[in-house]
Amino acid sequence: HPARPCRPQPAALGGMGGGSSRERRHSVDDDRYQDGKYTKGATALQSRPEVKHGSLMQSSQGLFATVKVLASDLDGTLLTPDREPGTGTAAAIQAFEEAGGTFVICTGRDRGSARAVLKGIDIDKLPGVYLNGSIVQGLNGKIIKSCTLSGEVIKALVDWGRANRDKASILFVDGETHYVMDRSEEHALYMHKQLLDPEPLEVEGGWASAEPKIPTNVNMMRVICSPENMAVVKPQIRELIYGKANCAQSLKTTIDIMAPHTNKANGLHVLLQAIGQSEAVTAAVGDSENDLEMLQSVRVACAMGNAVQKTKTSAHFVLPTNAETPSGVVYLLSSITEALKTLGSQLDSSPASQKRQKREGSLQVACFGGGSWGMPVARMVAQSALSDSHFANEVKLWINPEKWHGKSLTEIVNETRENPKYMPGYRVPMNVLAVDDVNEAARDADILIFVERQDVLRYILQEISGSVKKTAIALVMSKDLLEVGESSLKFGSQVVSEKLGIPVAVLMGGTLAGDVAAGSFAEATLGCADPMHTSLLLSLFNKPNFSVSALNTTESVELFAVLKTMVSLAGGICDGVGYGFNTKSAIVRLGAVEISKFAVRFFPQQASAEALHEACGWTDMIVSSFGDSRNRKWAKVFAEDPTLSWEQVAVKSLSDPRIPTGISIIQDVMTFVRKEHVEMDFPFITKLHRVITRLDPPESLTNMTLPRVRRSDAQKVVVLGSGNWGTAIARIVGVNVSKLPDFKNSVSMWVHEEMVDGRKLTEIINTEHQNVKYLPGFDLPTNIVAEPDPVEAVKGANILVFVLPHQFLDSLLDKIAPVVSPGTIAVSLVKGHIVVEDGGKTLKTGSQVIAERLRIPECAVLNGANVANDVATGNFAEATLGCSREEQSVLLWRLFNCPSFSVRSTPDVFGVELFGGLKNVVALAAGFCDGLGLAANTKAAVLRRGLLEMSILIGALFPTSRPETVEESCGIADLLTTCYSGRNRKCAEAYAKDPSRTWEEIEADMLQGQKLQGPSCCMDVQALIDHRGLRDKLPLLTAIHGAVTKKISPMDVFTTNGFLAGGAELRAAS
């Protein structure tokens, strides 16, 4: 079952079939989530033979017939949970070899340990990679590689072990003999007892000796500790051996330390060369992160059903588990053997034939850029080239010539497959050839992928402009403005197209390089006008963990992806100044609205609203403003110390003197704004530029001249609610009415009476002017009067401000309805209140309930990115006022708006209100992300998907709602605040860590009397979805409900929606 729907098979660069790119946008295929269960659309390989993320229309049997070598891990893969080969393993290996295949063992065990557990299999006749590549055995037991650790590394680890005996034990492996310093230590015999490794000897002298007799030929060392200590131990070991040895975590308890550049992938490469084969005819199977590089270096990568998620994500197939019969490896061996017998004679897979086939019609890919983003891109492309016969196996990677510790980076990458300067710890497959001659990379290339910053890109274009094939296409993945013309801005794709004279596409989205390199889910948008080129590029990039959607416009995708770098600078400034999530979310939203306005004004043909809502828009903006992006990190340090030069800030924040692209972009955009004399129309861009150029201090970022509309009427105000949010809003109302003659000075605040330290809460508020229980530390204006009787509070009121948990709203309305006059104005700040009846058939929002029960024409709504403590602190925040009556709208705007609490109005009452409720459901998914430790890229993609599903549901419930409301504070900004800081996120994080707890237990334990709204709102939302048959259109909201009701796990929310897809599932035929 493929992880993505099949796309048309590209025949050649100029003649592919396909349909429009709009038809091939990202979508789930025929999987279904129903009744709390997730069902795959196909149940066996035979029913859906396509492979490789749906990019090929090639049968699995045809692919398997090209496999001449199968490399298998042992523990968790070839071995069952009982540490023995699965039933039928020996016979399956024999049949595979009789069909012409070569079976290879790739393990962290030594040969003696492997021999002990592989009963019935003669490993001395099998090629093997042992001790993670430290020892490589060729045919008939011949050792072709044996690496040992340096004395310097051994001494450093022994010294560390001596100082940390309470945390870990160290173990030495010399060939097939194991040693420990002290057999009585807690973890010293762990590998022997748990994995059946040889019983270790004790080093002569042990810890008692100042100079113990350590073995001299140590192939590998292990550091063994408890899983609880691993988070502390692992970083220390990495730092200790950095540049001197390689390490890998093979188990939750174990770190393996090998010679530099030693790993399973490199060991397998050495072995393949020795036996005259290549990665292009090799399949590999594994289950742990220790197997990732091996899987990423071969043509067919398979993960066990019991594999960790990262390994599944990197695989083309997910096999049955090692506990099933037949096990995953046995089933894979049988499938490949059958394919070899059936089709093998028709194929010539010799190295010479592979080179010849390399072939007629295959496309050469070249990547330009070996930095932190270029390396993950090269890895993705190389993996696709290995498994897709339409691309040449070899992928050229141009790296800007520079030295690292006196050695060429190009040379280092070719030797170690790693760029230690820009992406340490992550390797590219063996089919990547690094070059430092830019023309060599461009020569004969059919697809040129540019992943470089603008100054380097200019150099590349100048050098290769005369040597690029006219039939080639280019793909721009760097987010840069390159030129400010007389009347327009030129983006990178425009300049590349003009310089090279070839078609250009762009690929951009929420793609932090480190997260992509680690295999975490990310999403991007491909902008390409040619449907045939779109199909080709999708087959190169679209993967389960890198979801690519396509739009048929290049400019709109690049436009928002480039301009968003300014927003990420503003996000970093908020972090550096110390603003809370309210302020930061408001600033990010203001920036998003303004770049959208900028795009519409100056690029009306390219400013697609669809692109803003795609991965190149919101996802990219969220992850770059809240994640680990270069622009955000730079701006944070700049705001902390504006006296530093830009270069000094870059060195301090990025360990790199190169200034991030956002700086040049804000300068280019501001130059253009000044040419057009429209500074007043773009206050965000203008203020950000003044801060970045040190004309204004960083903390002045919130002081923007934003357009307002002011009108008023005189009224008496009552605040109904005194929790932390009610008290925070009462502070604003109290200050505002004291300054405006249109409102009576005294504001009644209804307080649910309770005792605090032996005193009535109302008495404390009225004497000490502080709500010591729900908002301690913040003084209330003296014109706020606490009243325990809601009826007394409401008498004579003209404006009622409802700001209380929705669970208490009905009882309050029953009490006050008789004394509320028909002309009273009401505004609801109650979040998440919807009343669903008749199994989802009817819906009433909180504002509708209030208006109906009080017999008034309408109740307005105020919602936005508002965390109570941040608002109370006076940090900048904003909200959206939904009110269809203009006079009331103006009056309420004056009541709430102030310099630190910016209010914008819209007549879309229901849109404002429902976004305020639905975001609590999406916040649960955000909490699940955090509790499961998912990456920033993944979380940003989840939020964008959640935002779109919220919009779809609101449109279905209230067709008159306005689509643009999503861009207001009640939409995207409120979602960001809630998903990065709110109580629903916090409680969902705790639930994801321990799903055995109930929501009631978590609420009581973590919220100290406050109410958790997400789960109850989730139930109501699902009833609405089910009644309207919207499950297929709203899979994320549906899956969240499944997790909340314990029908699926929090992890399933993401696996069932493609955020953690594991490749195709390979299941045994019945």
Residues 6+ apart with CB under 8 A from 235: none
The 3-state DSSP class for residue 367 equals strand
Place of tokens 């590089």: 293
676 backbone dihedrals φ, ψ, rounded to 5°: -90, -5
Q: How far is CA 271 from CA 141, 281, 429, in A?
A: 12, 13, 15
Q: Exposed/middle/buried for 239, CB within 10 Å: 0-12, 13-18, 19+? A: exposed
Evaluate the CA torsion angle 106, 109, 113, 116 in order and state its sign: negative
Q: Answer yes or no: are the C-beta atoms of 917 and 924 closer than 8 Å.
A: no
Q: Answer yes or no: are the C-beta atoms of 719 and 799 closer than 8 Å.
A: no
The 3-state DSSP class for residue 269 equals helix
Q: How far is CA 716 from CA 725, 739, 882, in A?
A: 21, 14, 21
The 3-state DSSP class for residue 952 equals helix
Between CA 361 and CA 1019 the distance in angstroms is 55
Between CA 34 and CA 1042 the distance in angstroms is 9
- Structure tokens belonging to residue 225: 């500790």
Residues in the chain: 1070
- Structure tokens belonging to residue 602: 């100056």
- Structure tokens belonging to residue 629: 């992006």
Cβ atoms within 10 Å of 159's Cβ, excluding its own? 11
Strands (E) in 238-299, as ranges, are 246-251, 254-258, 282-286
- Residue 252 a catalytic site member: no
Between CA 42 and CA 54 the distance in angstroms is 13
Amino acid code (one letter) for 853? R
Cα-based angle 253, 380, 459 (whole degrees, multiple of 5): 125
Q: Exposed/middle/buried for 827, CB within 10 Å: 0-12, 13-18, 19+? A: buried
749 backbone dihedrals φ, ψ, rounded to 5°: -125, 115
DSSP state of 660: P
Between CA 335 and CA 314 the distance in angstroms is 21
430 backbone dihedrals φ, ψ, rounded to 5°: -65, -20
DSSP state of 346: G
Question: b/e map of 628-667 (b: 16 or more CB within 10 Å)?
Answer: ebbbbbbbbbbbbebeeeeeebbeebbebeebbbbbbbbe
Q: Answer yes or no: are the C-beta atoms of 72 and 104 closer than 8 Å.
A: yes
The 3-state DSSP class for residue 564 equals helix
Q: Answer yes or no: are the C-beta atoms of 298 and 284 closer than 8 Å.
A: yes
Between CA 840 and CA 838 the distance in angstroms is 6
- Structure tokens belonging to residue 134: 């430290």
Between CA 581 and CA 968 the distance in angstroms is 16
* Catalytic-role residue among 264, 396, 543, 919: 919
Q: Answer yes or no: are the C-beta atoms of 860 and 889 closer than 8 Å.
A: yes
Q: Answer yes or no: are the C-beta atoms of 524 and 517 closer than 8 Å.
A: no
Pairing of strands 473-476, 504-510: parallel
Place of tokens 């809502």: 613
Considering only CA atoms, give the Rg of the chain: 31
Give the active site residues: 919
